[in-house]
Structure 1
Amino acid sequence: MVLKSPGTAEGAAGLAAILDRPQEASLAFDFDGVLSPIVADPGLSRPYPGVVAALGRLAELAGSVSIITGRPVADVLRLGELGELAALEHFSIFGLYGMQRWDWGSRSVVSEPALPGVAAARAELPGLLERAGLRGVSVEDKTMSVAVHTRRADQPQQAFEALREPLRELAGRHGLALEPGRMVLELRPPGIDKGHALEAIAEQHRVRAVAYFGDDLGDLAAFDAVERLREAGLAGLKVCSGSDEVPRLAERADLIVDGPPGVLEFVEGLNERLK
C-alpha cells in the first residue's frame, strides 16, 4: 500500500521520524470527522469500518496512540466500538478537550472538576433557543460543557450565524469560552483545548515525534501544539481529514486525506511500513 506523502518539508520530516523510530512517536486522532463520519445526530456516530482494528495494530507498533475529542470519554467508549483497544497500555482517550481521561489501568474515567458556569449557561439555553425561534437546533449536554448543534436546522448555516453572538454573550456572562465547529457552537471552560492534551501526551511518553489528525476548528489548537513541539526539537506531522466546511484547517495541514476513509488508508499504510 502506497503511503501518501506530506506536502511540506516539516511534515515529511515528521513522517520520516515516525517511520524511523515508531516506538518514540505519538499519534493522536480526533473522533468525529476523522475516525467517524460526521452525521446529523451525534448519538448515531460510529467509527468508519476497519478504523478501530487499524488503530489497534498501530498501538502495538507506535509509542502511543490517542483519541483527543470534544466528546465525553463515555461517548467514545459507547459509540467507538473500541473493544480490546481500550485496554491497551499505550492507548488513551482524552475527552472534553482533555478535561477527561480514560485510565486503562483502573478502567475508569478521570475528570477535572466542572465549572459552575456550565450548569448556569445550560439552564439558560432553552429560553435563548426558544426566543431565537430556530427549528431543528439541538443541545448536547456534555456535563462539563454544552454544545448547540445546528446541522439539523431548516437552514443550518443561517442558524449557526444567528446563534453565534447570543451564545458568545451567554458564555461570557458565565466565565466560559464559545468555540465554533462544524455546525456546532460549544460553551466550555476557557484555556482548555486539544493542544494542551497533545502536549501532555508527548511529555508523558517522552516521544521524539508527534502526529495529529483533525478535521475541525477545535483541532487548530492541536496543530498549534505540533508547531510548538517542533520548535522544541520534536518532529511533527499535521494531518487534515479533508472537509470543505473547514478550509482553515486544510491550509495549516502538512497532509490532507479524504475524510475517515483517507485516515484509514493512511493508518493502514503506516502499519504496513512499520510491521
Structure 2
Amino acid sequence: MGARPDITAWRPPVEGIDEVFHAFFADHAYPMHTHDAWTLLIVDQGLVRYDLDRHEHGAPSSVVTLLPPHVPHNGDAATPEGFRKRVLYLDTRQIDAALIGRAVDRPVLHDQRLRHRVHQLHRTLERRGDELEAQSRLALVSERLARHLRDQLDVPPPVHDRRVARELRELLDQRFVQGLTLREAADRLHVHQTHLVRAFSREFGMAPHQYLTGRRVDLARRLLLGGMRAPDVASAAGFYDQSHFSRHFKRVVGTSPGHYARTAKDVTGYRRSSEPRTNAA
C-alpha cells in the first residue's frame, strides 16, 4: 500500500480562480477526465505523466503545464516516489477560448519567469486578506499564458500610461480601508486589469497592492500612537484580521504592532518626566 495522499483544496475569494488544489500522491492514477476550467499545473516533486488528445506528455518540476478546458486527459506518477503538485483551476474567461487548440498542441511551457509567478500566486492565495495582490498576480500570469499561446512572448506589453496610473492611485486613496477589487478599478477606469497593474507599477515603482498596504500601515501607526488597541486597529485600518495586520505591519515597520505601541508610550512617558517643573505661584 502506498503513502496516504496529502491534499488541500479551497476556493479563494479571487475572481477568476475556481479552485486551488495542492496534493501529494504516491500511487494514484487519474483516469481520463475533463474540466470545465483551464488547469494550470506546477510540479514540486517527482514527475507527472499524462495523455492529452492522444499524445503523451510529461510535467517535471521545471515547467508550467496548461491543460485546456473540455479536453480529456489523465495522469499518474512517472517516478516511484510519487509526485507533489499545485494546481489552479482558472475560469474560462481568463484565457481566450480561441487559444484552446494551441494549448492542446503544446501544453508544456518552458518559462522560469512564468513558473516563479505561478509559485508567487499560490503563496499569496494561502493568505487571507491579500486578495488585491492575488488579483494582480493572476492578471500577469494570465497575460503571459496567452502570450505564450499566441507566440508573442517577446513582444513587450504597453505600460506607459501615467493618466491611468494616477487615477488608480486616487481610487486607492479613496478606498484603501474598505478596499477594492482589480476588476472594479479596471471597470471604473475603462482599461484592462493587466494594463492597470503594469501602468501603476511603472509610474510609482510598486504594485497597486503594495501601495494599498502602505496606506493601511500608515493609518495603523497613527491609530496605535493615538492609543487604540491593536486588535481594533486591524479592523479600522482595513486588514482582514489580526494575523494579516501583524504580518504586514512587521514587514513594513520592522516590529510588531504591540511592540510599536508600547515603545511609543515609553517615549511619551520619558518626555513628560523630563519636562521642567514650574514653581507654584
TM class by shorter-chain length?
A: under 0.3
TM-score by length of 1: 0.23
Structure number with bigger Rg: 2
Larger relative contact order (C-alpha < 8 A, sep ≥ 6)?
1
TM-score by length of 2: 0.23
